[in-house]
Amino acid sequence: MGEQTDTNLVTYEYPMNEKIRSWLRLETLLLQIYEQSNITSYASGIAFFRSVSELIEILDRGEVRTDLIKELEKYKTKLLNWAESPNVDKQLLTSLTDDLSNKLSILTLAPRFGHLLRTDKIISMVRQRLSIPGGCCNFDLPTLQLWLHIPQTERSDEIKIWLTSIDPLHEALQTVLSLIRQNGHFEDRQSHNGFYQGNVEGKELLRIKLSPDDLLYPQISGHKNRFALRFLHIDSENGILPEVINFQLACC
């Protein structure tokens, strides 16, 4: 990739199973919720509540807590096994193991994910209108319009309570996805005529780094042990696809 640094590259990810697919969607929604939590207008309030509503829908579909606990326990077991290896950094290993143990304890004792969000009157009221095109006009939701005009400190305190209720989910998910991503190391690869395919075994996540300079993006497909990358130009009709495309690939 020459002298190009990672800061110039766009990272694309593709889940190799349904569990990782669900976790990546959760990660995106949680990122949106925390970033949108500083509500300054009616429009930003609707954006926040829409993300919260989508989070509730995902949490209602599966056993997120159980899957995260299993994943944290798996990595904790790996760390304990590494402790028997020679020349291992005992202090670092102990610190990592203690951190996983702490997150497991918090996750196990935390209330049901999303329960506080589901039962909150303001959130429930807005959720009922989100499925209606244009259904969140201020004349449809006068209670929300009033809530957006209460003192900022009161509104911020209420939002903080909502976020605190999902903090255990957020922190556990961040830890798990970070551990999974660290399982793979980026290596330089080349695509010829816009196509690349490969085999993987026991991997859960593909990560591709690509320069945005040529306005290219990867279309990724994969199942179990095989994957294929097809590189496309953002202008599908007039864009020019280089014969050789340099990118970086990590299989995690």
Nearest to 45, CA basis, from 146, 119, 165: 146
Pairing of strands 216-223, 205-210: unpaired
Contact indicator for 88, 82 with CB cutoff of 8 Å: yes
- For residue 147, the model assigns a pLDDT of 93
Topology given in CATH for the domain delimited by 18-183: YacF-like (1.10.3900)
- For residue 1, the model assigns a pLDDT of 39
| Architecture field, domain 184-251 | Sandwich (2.60)
- For residue 89, the model assigns a pLDDT of 74
Q: Where in the chain is the domain with CATH 2.60.440.10?
A: 184-251
152 vs 18: CA distance, rounded Å: 40
Q: Where in the chain is the domain with CATH 1.10.3900.10?
A: 18-183
Residues 6+ apart with CB under 8 A from 4: 211
Amino acid at 172: A
Please, what is the angle between helix 42-61 and helix 18-36, to 10°? 150
pLDDT tens, residue order, the chain (252 aa): 344 456 689 999 999 999 999 999 999 999 999 999 999 889 999 999 999 999 999 998 778 999 999 999 999 988 888 877 777 777 888 888 888 999 999 998 888 888 999 999 999 999 999 989 988 888 999 999 999 999 999 999 999 999 999 999 999 999 999 999 999 999 999 999 899 999 988 899 999 999 999 999 999 998 778 899 999 999 989 889 999 999 999 999
